[in-house]
Structure 1
């Protein structure tokens, strides 16, 4: 879970480049601590976000519905969100012990699990956390880490009614075996983690040999690939091979892994033609999976069971096993998660009621889901806002607004909830911040599996979001609006001014606390001692290539002298420009600037 230190570092990264804290990360660690647990969770989430589309494209088993990457990401994203909220209420955010972190994360992943892959991931993580909690560990050494791997693999396999080789279960087993061998040989915790990672990677490449569906499609198992990402992130945390930018998941999309790459020609299954575009420049790509005839049960049913016991859960498992397939029952002793594919939804729910008290019942009708994608529906808008003024403007434009600020950015789950709240079956999502784009893309994929057509407008700042909203045409088609709004966002050059809070080296030179910083297209290019002067220099750069419309979004701490000086300069030097001043109310940035 993010710590106060991590949030401060992420916030600083937006203001003043690399920090001394980031340098301290490059250390090989001898044990795994609470700080490492928080960092691992966030780094794994970032890795799943970056590879989400690629994992979705690998998904052909047990159902080729192209959602494994999305479900893995949403499971961990939702769990982290729950832990942050709980620890904030308790006043221990960023200061929780390893036992507290593991207790919270183990339960949160069970509550947030989505789909087959998400439930199995929750069990792997639950096994890891159980070892820590049962032994009351303040830190994990090499032998204990091997125990964690083994427990996670055992719980994951136990949860699946009919374990299948060639899946994430095989990959987790291989990792656990290799970790144990390394630990028993006296290896360090880094060597144990690396042995587990390497064995998992090798096992992943063998999955097509074990599962005919994978071999036929020319892919490795999607869930197993997610398990490899989990272990890769752990190794990076333990070796210090990561940075603040990795935590945010804002780096340019990674190159697609050729060893995972589907064989496209003549292969059935959810090959995503937009995956390469998303993994490259991050440009807008609309996924389009083939929609063939349904094979197998027509419904996915998930729910949580409380007020039950092992005997009742065993009976429930037996009943559901007779009703359908893809059955996973996990959890205990006071809360269980159930996932199954069936044709008789009523019987599946009644069986759960017989076993205990049900919570969060989710039913997906695969046929209706496909049909709704083809319907023409009214258009809804979801937009992120970093300040009350921005939020008010967006609401007036008809958007459902999600608050999103540094340290508390909108999650994929929040964006998905907002998309549902629009009441439309076609929704455009404006992240209005580069660090929220990946969450928005994950929400789009999750929405598709509910029959909700959603698209991301690549607005990387608030001023780009407002420019996109200005060209919204409710009478036009969804596709026409996507093209027009994305074009308006990209055509808006953007800048900002702020005050440095730490010493660092930037593209504009060395800065110290209190220096005025000028940002152009997301990069700090100006450093000075007067905010008004820096603001004018930012405008000069933005207007250097021309511009007719200038938007000034004032922050919560805007100085009247700064705003008046900027307006006078625009009046004198760019008299032809149309200038709009809006009260944004955002923190940290006294002035956000857009030029069209």
Structure 2
């Protein structure tokens, strides 16, 4: 589609309603800002339904008229702060397309920029990490797009919006604490993706799954200074009020204030407050308020789903595609940290289990600092989280092998800790730098055999990896052992596990070998002896 017309706008509005309906519960569940009232998805859906209803009842034959009808319907039926912002997004699109029969890529670029201006102006105190950040990213990407083709502009805008959504927990502490992205931002991404699908003809891609956590442990995580306000008051206002004066008056009695219009004499007013009468009286002095709605946050929070849906879960931090699948097959929730990992990332994994008690098995000590921060936040929010000291994925495997859901939680943690501690860990790796070790100097490219984190064998880079692995295992078995577990790294030579198997059959026939493709980057082999 190279031009957006009235028919396409109807298709988009209808598709938006269906997409928001499909994603409503997920969006409600991650709603923690500015108030954890669990209704952002519902409010967006109801606002968009009101917009679609207005469009279907209005005869239109141009894109400007169609978008204008949507904007008016959204403003009249706006629900919550998110609905108010959505109405201004639609108003921005309508203003940019006013008088036009169709909209091109250049028109969409202007429309998104105008939508960003109006949505930002609608919020009394714009905050980074919200729907406004997602909208700004989409508008900037559309502005910077080198093509004027409609499909190119909408595609880059939708992609930029999704990327900005993923970044919201890094911008807003309350999102990071809860392990979620911004609910309003996710709703906007649903709308952008739906628009891209209508224009390009491709199916709507599922919005990437985000970590969800109920809010009953986060009911104080509101905007700064707003924890005292118990009610959300909204109403429509007819006339020509002094919007800035009304904002000032409402700010004196509450927060999350917005006073926005459709450009034709209809205004929507929104405020969080305790004095409902004062909020309504301010509207009476400014114009004619009608369709007044009041919601009590405590009632909304109380109606939410229970926070925990199971008693216990195991979370494993491990790298390598094969290792990830191995732990998942054993029933663990797995997180692959990659090059950079933050406390917010780890907290997201812990809270997403929705388990009352979580045991974490880290596969590497380098993640200790962000993991400690994540555990502290999870415990502060009411979740029981215990980290079992495991310094290698083979120790995590040993711990997981003795896990028993039927055992008391405390006893189960002790059993896993004992199994991990009884497992000696070893590695065959390639040195990436020159260093002094307990057994001499190593140079870049040398093969290193390590036991419990210390280098015990150094071989030239062209040495036989299989032979070195056999020497390492012999050393580890010197103090006894019944089971050797090997995770093969991404760069492990073919057949090295067979070399180990043949060696153990001859030298240690009483020992069992279990070898798996781990796919880890940092080690050719990771070895555990139990």
65, 69, 72: which one pairs with 2:41? 69
**1:166 matched to which residue of 2?**
129
User: Partner of 2:466 in structure 1?
Assistant: none
Q: Deviations over 1:255-281 (max 9, x none)?
A: 7833x22368x99349xxxxxxxxxxx
SS at match of 1:192: helix
8 Å CA contact 1:78–1:112 kept in 2: the answer is yes
- For 1:269 and 1:77, locate their aligned partners in 2 and report how far apart those are by CA, in whole Å: 30
User: Does structure 1 residue 304 correspond to structure 2 residue 236?
Assistant: yes
Pairing partner for 2:112 from 141, 144, 149? 149
- Give the 3-state SS of the residue equivalent to 1:317 in structure 2: helix
TM, length-normalised to structure 2: 0.53
User: SS of 2:38's equivalent?
Assistant: coil
Provide the residue aligned with 2:85 in structure 1. Answer: 120
Match of 1:348 among 279, 289, 301: 279
Structure 2 residue 170 is matched with structure 1 residue 209:
yes
SS at match of 2:294: strand
Question: Is the contact between residue 29 and residue 213 of structure 2 (CA under 8 Å) also seen in structure 1?
Answer: no
Tell me the distance in 1 between the aligned counterparts of 2:216 and 2:244. Answer: 39
In structure 2, distance between residues paired with 1:256 and 1:179: 20
The change in CA–CA distance for 1:323 and 1:76 in structure 2 (over 3 A counts) is same
Aligned partner of residue 47 in structure 1, secondary structure? helix
Query: Which of 335, 339, 348 does residue 266 from structure 2 map onto?
Result: 335
Match of 2:375 in 1: none
Larger Rg: 2
Q: TM-score, normalised by structure 1?
A: 0.48
Change (3 A) 1:256 1:140: closer
Q: Match of 2:4, SS?
A: coil
**Matches of 1:110 and 1:255, distance apart in 2:** 28
Structure 1 contact 124–155 (Cα < 8 Å) conserved? yes
- Are the equivalent residues in 2 in contact too, given 1:34–1:97 (CA < 8 A)? yes
Q: CA deviation at 1:296?
A: 3.1
* Structure 2 Cα separation of the partners of residues 130 and 330 of structure 1: 14
Contact 1:30–1:141 (Cα < 8 Å) also in 2: yes
> C-alpha separation between the residues in 1 aligned to 2:70 and 2:193?
19
* Matched residue SS, 1:327: strand
Cα shift at 1:70: 0.7
Give the secondary structure class of the aligned counterpart of 2:126: coil
Structure 1 stretches of 4+ moved >6 Å:
370-373
Q: 1:181 aligns with which of 144, 156, 165?
A: 144
| Corresponding residue to 2:29 among 34, 57, 62 | 57
Q: Are the aligned partners of 1:299 and 1:342 in contact in 2 as well (CA < 8 Å)?
A: yes
Q: How does 1:224-239 map to 2 (within 5 A)?
A: 224-239=185-200
Quote the residue 2:357 is aligned against.
Answer: none
Whole-angstrom distance in 2 between the partners of 1:139 and 1:368? 45
1:262 is matched with 212
Does 1 or 2 have the higher relative contact order (CA < 8 Å, sep 6+)?
Answer: 1
C-alpha deviation, 1:325, in angstroms: 1.1
Contact kept in structure 1, 2:38 and 2:301, CA below 8 Å: no
Aligned partners of 1:217 and 1:268 also within 8 Å: no
Q: Secondary structure at the match of 2:252?
A: helix
Please report how far the alpha carbon of residue 35 of structure 1 lies from its aligned counterpart in structure 2 after TM superposition.
Answer: 1.1
Question: What's the CA shift for 1:80?
Answer: 1.2
Q: In the alignment, what sits opposite 1:428?
A: none
Q: CA deviation at 1:30?
A: 1.0
